[in-house]
A and B are shown apart, each in its own frame.
Chain A
Amino acid sequence: MAQVSEKVMVELHNVDKSYGDNKVVKNLNLQIQEGEFLTMLGPSGCGKTTTLRMIAGFEDVTAGAVIIEGENVVNKPPYQRNVNTVFQNYALFPHMNVYDNIAFGLTEKKVNKEEIRQRVGEMLSLVQMDGYETRRPSQMSGGQKQRVAIARALVNRPKVLLLDEPLGALDLKLRKQMQVELKHLQRQLGITFVYVTHDQEESLTMSDRIAVMNNGVIEQIGPPDKIYNRPATKFVADFIGESNIFEASVVSINGDNLKVIFETGGAEVSASGFNQDEMVYISVRPEKLKCSIDAVPGFNLRGTVKEHIYVGSISKTIIELPNGQNLKMSLLTGTPLLPQGENVWVYWEKDDTVVLHTNEETLYNLIEQVPKIEVRV
C-alpha cells in the first residue's frame, strides 16, 4: 500500500485565471503531496475544472506558477506534462476500439508493439475489462467507458492523474461502487490523484485531503474529518454535510465558555479566540442537536416538532423555531420520536458546535432587530 510522502508533486503558486474581466480563480495556492488523493470540492462554477485544466495544460494561467515535480510547466503544452486526465464525458476516441484507445498514448511515445500489447492487457485486467479489446466506445455502457478512460490514462504511468467529475454521469449505485474501486486503485498504484467533484459525500469517502473551493478561492483545505468537524468558514459548514447555522452575538466569555444570543434565543458554546459582543456564526450538525421536554441549563431555544422524515438508517426531525427557521435533527431510526406539534427545548453539548467569525458590518443591522431575550441559566 502506497503512502502519502512528503515530496510535493504538484504545486499551484499564486495562480490567477481570468476570462476577460471575469476572475474565476483568485490567487490560488495549493501543494499536493506524492501519492496523495486530493479532492477539489465546490459548487458548480467555482473554478474547479479551470484549475484542473491549468494543471493539465489546456488553459494558460493568467498569473502564477504551476509546478510539477519542482518544475514550472506554465509554458509547456499538455503533451509535455507528465500528467494524464480522465474527462467527465470520457472523451474516448469513437473511431477506435478499446485496445487502440488504451494503446494511444503508448503509440505516441513509440513504445514497441510487444510492450504495448502487454501493458494494455495489464490495464484491461486492472480495470476488469478483459475481453473488451475490440469493442467500440458506442458499444459500451457508461461505467465501462469510464473504466476504459481510466485505463487509457493509467497505461502511460503518469505521476499525477487528474479526474474531472469522472463519476458524474453514472447512476448512484455504480457511482458508489466506482468510488471504492477508484480509491482502491489509487492506493494500489500510489499515483497522485487530483479529483474534482461537487459531491461532498463523494469527497468525504475518497480523499486524503479536501480543498473546498468557492468563487475561485480555496476556503479550507484538510482531511475529511477535519473539514467535516471543524469547518473554517460558514460556506464550508453549509456545503459539507448539513448544518444548523445561527447568526449570534457573544454576550459573555468565561474561559472557553461563550454565552451567545441569537434571534430565537440563547445558548452556551465552547470556543476560544472570540471577543465580547463579536458577531459569530454558530454551526451545529443535525446529529449533534438534541431536544427535550424540559428546559436545559444554559440554553434558551424553543421550537415545535414540525415533522419526521424517514431516510433509511436515520430519521430526521424538523423543529420549527418561532422566527420560521427550520432546525434539522437526525436520530438513528428506532429512537423514540417526539410527537408532532410538541413544544420542545433544543440544546446540544457545548463541544459539539463550531463557532465562526463573521464580517461584523453585514450583521450589525440584523442584531439591532433581535429581541432581547433573557438567557436562562
Chain B
Amino acid sequence: MNIHNKRLNKFLSAAFVTLIYIFLYLPIAIIVFFSFNSSKLNVVFQGFTLQWYGVMFQNGDLMSALKNTAIVAVSSVVISVFIGTLAAIGMFRYEFKGKSIVDSFLYIPIVIPEIVMGISLLAFYHILSISLGILTLILAHVTFSMPYVVVTVRSRLSGYDMSLEEAAMDLGATRMHTLTRITLPIIAPGILAGAMLALTLSLDDVIVSFFTTGVDSVTLPIYIFNKVKTGVSPDINALITVIILVTLLVMLLMRTFDARTSKKEQA
C-alpha cells in the first residue's frame, strides 16, 4: 500500500515536470519545426525545405530591421554600461545628502509599467520636438536598461573592500590607474552580467520601442509584431529559429565563461 503510494507519487511528479517542460518548449519547437515546412501555412507539414532561410536573407525590410536592432542594442548597451557602472561606483563610494532618494529613483524604471514609460518618452520627445528615429530609440533603451546595470554592478560591489583602492594608491597608482587596474577588473563580472541583461532587454523590447521609433528605424521585434498582425509567414519562422540558435550559443558561451571565472576566484 505504502510502496504503491510512493510509486504513484513518483509517477505523478515526473508527469507534472514533463508537462511543465512541454508547456514551455512545445510552442518553440513548433515554430522551429514549421520553419522547415515547404507549405506557406503553419498548419500542415508538406515537406522539408530550407527555402525560407533564403527568403529571409533576401527580405530587405527584415534585414534593415536586423541592422537597426543591432545598432540600437550595441549603442544602448555601451552607453548604459558606461553610465550605470560609474553611477554604481559613485553610489557605493560616496555618502551625500538625499542619497537614499536618488537611490530609489534609480530603480523606478525597473518597476514602472513599460507602457507608461513608452508613452512618457513619446510625450517627452514630442515636447522637445525631437523627431523619432534611431537616436530616440537608443535613448529610450538606455533609460530602461541602465538601472539593471546599476543593480548588477552594485551587487558585485557589495563585497568590495575599499582598502584595495587605498593599497593601490599607496603603491603609487593614480586614481585613474586604481580604477582601471583594481576596481574595474574586480567588478568586471558584475559589469558583464549587467551588459548581458541590457542586451537582452534591448533586443526584444517591443512596447517602449513601439512608441519611440520612427518609420526608418523599425527594429526586429517591431517588424515581427507588425508582420504577425497579417499572419505569421514562414520566413519569420526561419528568423525565429536563427534567433533561438544565436541565443543558445550566447548562453553556452556565458556558461563556460562563468564557470571559468568562478573557478579562478575560488582557486
Contact = CB atoms under 8 A, between A and B. Distances in A.
B164 A91 contact: yes
Contacts of B264: 136
Contacts of A138: 265-267
B186 A95 contact: yes
Contacts of B177: 108
A93 B161 CA distance: 10
Contacts, number: 65
Interface string B256-267: 000000001111
A287 B249 CA distance: 76
Contact of B164 (A57, A83, A93, A136): A93
Interface in B130-187: 161, 163-164, 166-174, 177, 181-182, 185-186
B163 to A, nearest CB: 4
Contact of B172 (A58, A87, A92, A108): A108
Contact of A156 (B172, B174, B186): B172
Given A79-B172, A108-B177, A156-B172, A136 B167 contact: no
Contacts of B173: 79, 104, 108
Nearest to A78: B169
A79 B174 contact: yes
Contacts of B185: 95
A362 interface: no
Contacts of A57: 169
Contacts of B174: 79
Given A95-B185, A95-B186, A138-B265, A79 B167 contact: no
Contacts of B267: 136, 138-139
B163 A152 contact: no
Contact of B163 (A89, A95, A153): A89
B231 to A, nearest CB: 53
A98 B123 CA distance: 56
Contacts of B186: 93-95
Contacts of A85: 166-167, 170
Contacts of B172: 79, 105, 108-109, 156
A156 B169 CA distance: 13
Nearest to A85: B170
B262 to A, nearest CB: 12
A32 B250 CA distance: 60
Given A136-B267, A139-B267, A91 B166 contact: yes
B163 A108 contact: no
B265 A156 contact: no
Contacts of B181: 104
A105 B177 CA distance: 11
11 contacts: A57-B169, A58-B169, A58-B170, A78-B169, A79-B174, A84-B170, A85-B170, A91-B166, A93-B186, A105-B171, A105-B172
Given A91-B161, A105-B172, A139-B267, 8 more contacts: A57-B169, A79-B169, A83-B170, A93-B167, A93-B168, A109-B172, A153-B171, A156-B172
Interface of A: 56-58, 77-79, 83-85, 87, 89, 91-95, 104-105, 108-109, 136, 138-139, 152-153, 156
User: 7 closest Cβ contacts across the A-B interface?
Assistant: A105-B171, A91-B167, A108-B172, A91-B163, A78-B169, A79-B172, A85-B170
